[in-house]
């Protein structure tokens, strides 16, 4: 059976979409335990994962818990074979911060 490039890309996009749903559930539970929140943005937040999409996350946690939150997010994405891009909320500003507040999906 021949599988086209378009079919492989479509299958990978579907796999990544399903994987994001699993990661989101894990992150939401973890955020509640640590008293913080993850903010999902980008294609994962829009429900528009592509075959090459990553998981864009912003962390908003007490400083004592930020490292643990970061490591947990990296490990959760890795378990589901998803690349991730993580940034602490303190490193955001301006238009990016406004877009996060308007379009980001809060996981807490």
Cα separation of 92 and 4, whole Å?
A: 40
Residue 47: the pLDDT is 96
Residue 74: the pLDDT is 99
* Residue with tokens 């075959």, as numbered in its chain: 51
Residue 50: the pLDDT is 98
Residue 96: the pLDDT is 97
Cα separation of 12 and 81, whole Å?
A: 11
Cα separation of 65 and 100, whole Å?
A: 21
Residue 53: the pLDDT is 98
Tens digit of each residue's pLDDT, the chain (108 residues) = 999 999 999 999 999 999 999 999 999 999 999 999 999 999 999 999 999 999 999 999 999 999 999 999 999 999 999 999 999 999 999 999 999 999 999 999
């Amino acid at each position: 059976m021949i599988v086209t490039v378009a079919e492989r890309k479509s299958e990978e996009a579907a796999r990544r979409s399903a994987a994001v749903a699993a990661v989101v559930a894990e992150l939401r539970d973890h955020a509640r335990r640590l008293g913080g929140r993850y903010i999902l943005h980008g294609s994962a937040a829009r429900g528009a994962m592509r075959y090459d999409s990553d998981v864009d996350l912003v962390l908003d946690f007490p400083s004592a818990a930020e490292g643990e939150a970061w490591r947990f997010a990296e490990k959760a994405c890795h378990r589901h074979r998803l690349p991730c891009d993580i940034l602490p909320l303190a490193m955001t500003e301006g238009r990016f911060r406004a877009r996060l507040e308007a379009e980001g999906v809060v996981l807490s």
